[in-house]
A and B are shown apart, each in its own frame.
Chain A
């Protein structure tokens, strides 16, 4: 590709590593070292590491986590999973429409899909306002004959907030997968006598499966880090997720070690899902 044959020289290789050096140093100092330190803190007693004289207690904090915070861990798995499933149901038809069909205001719809990326604050605050009496959902409460307490501060409200937050990811992953598939395949299936339903399940679904799975995992991984949505919409019971517990333990109780143990669990969950996402997108390509 290059006009000059420098690819084998040693200077060239040193040059590459030299150019990468500042970035690698920065990442090591501000991402890898903190992540390693979370693991170290999780082995110490309360806030002794922060105060300067760490007392190591082994895996005692993990015992506390697995005896006292099982509900948080369970919530942290169940809520993002159901949100990712809801995203799949909502996002799949939308991605298909955006890629394959001509619809009105296509660009407006694409544009408005970008907003939830940055809108953690607004989604939770807006939904909270809407769910409370006097908000937008009063009509639904009236029609179905329920009170707001049957929706707000339950799992349903958190799942709705989570699914709005990550819907763009699902649509992005599935539509970028659909764009790689030629529409002639669908036409061929139809000319050969498949019904539309059969065509969908035999042709489109198997081909877009990697995108759907990757989108599912990405939604799950992003929602694991959601903080304000479960806090405002979930109340005490449904809002009892790992992130909320970590913030509570660090900023209010100053029990950094248990928080770090929870953070290690959360990090291993996200790293595992990210690894799976990478693996799936690579394998299917």
Chain B
């Protein structure tokens, strides 16, 4: 260890702690406050603890929407994987013409605002594809802005993969298809899992794109929550609904971080 030490430029410990607590407070408080609102009731005389009363007020179609949302989320993740695996494999292994252009086009949808994608998709759905308000239309539309989230973890994990495994499989006589199925897919399992969870969480929380393309046909949880927030605002029931979707999101993200850490998120900063 050097003698001059980096401690010299340390902020005083107290300032450091206060700073971190402040940042954590800023980030976490909106999320926690919704839970708090869901179990308390404001009266002019003061704040009253009501337990799970607001949760029991949630209507049946909300729970049906939860099922719909989970199904759509799973389908979107699956479709994202099918769409994102071939380019991820080819982009990280081979060089060819237009590679940079292709990478840019593949990642760009992540930066398209949902509103823009929504207007464009709804117009095209109405006019040509006839997909407005259908389940597969919803899945295809949600996948169009979310598959970069599958692509980037896959790229990271395939790039980190030792090429000797693949070469060994090929020299021992496996076809390319067998190599991919038997060797590469099991080895990049964590990357796939991470992409699955990211796209899943992304699509169950997306309210803006389904607002344009799903229509009244299919109830999705996030859309329902959005319209409840706009219609009923500060009602305790809305806070309870929000905290259910929040809880689902948090548990998936905790599962993700517990098993994989933040390693695959590094792909998001290119």
Contacts and interface: CB of A to CB of B under 8 A. Distances in A.
A50 B116 contact: no
Interface string B15-49: 01001100110111111111001000010000100
B151 to A, nearest CB: 9
Contact of B34 (A2, A13, A103, A129): A129
Interface in B118-175: 119-124, 126-127, 129, 140-141, 143-145, 163, 167, 170-171
Interface string B84-121: 10110110011010000010111011011111110111
Contact of B86 (A22, A214, A227): A22
A112 B113 contact: no
Contacts of A37: 120, 123-124, 127
A114 B265 contact: yes
Interface stretch (A58-66, A139-147, A264-272): A264-272
A118 B11 CA distance: 32
Interface size class of A (residues with CB under 8 A): 35 or more
A196 B113 contact: no
A112 B141 CA distance: 29
Nearest to B10: A101
A274 B111 contact: yes
Nearest to B207: A121
Given A33-B124, A130-B30, A97 B16 contact: yes
B34 to A, nearest CB: 5
A38 B113 CA distance: 13
Nearest to B9: A196
Contacts of A132: 234
B90 A127 contact: no
A110 B104 contact: no
Contact of A281 (B2, B170, B249, B270): B270
Given A30-B143, A110-B257, A227-B114, 7 more contacts: A7-B94, A103-B20, A109-B20, A113-B27, A121-B226, A125-B239, A130-B29
22 contacts: A20-B86, A23-B106, A30-B140, A32-B105, A35-B120, A50-B126, A94-B23, A97-B20, A112-B27, A112-B28, A114-B262, A114-B265, A121-B225, A122-B31, A122-B246, A196-B8, A211-B269, A225-B113, A247-B208, A247-B211, A267-B113, A273-B111
Interface of A: 1-4, 7, 13, 16, 19-20, 22-23, 26-27, 29-35, 37-38, 41, 49-50, 52, 90, 93-94, 97, 100-101, 103, 107, 109-123, 125-127, 129-130, 132, 134-136, 160, 164, 167, 169, 172-173, 176, 183, 186-187, 190-191, 196, 199-200, 211, 214, 221-222, 224-225, 227-228, 232, 243, 246-247, 250-251, 256, 259-260, 263, 266-267, 270-271, 273-274, 278, 281
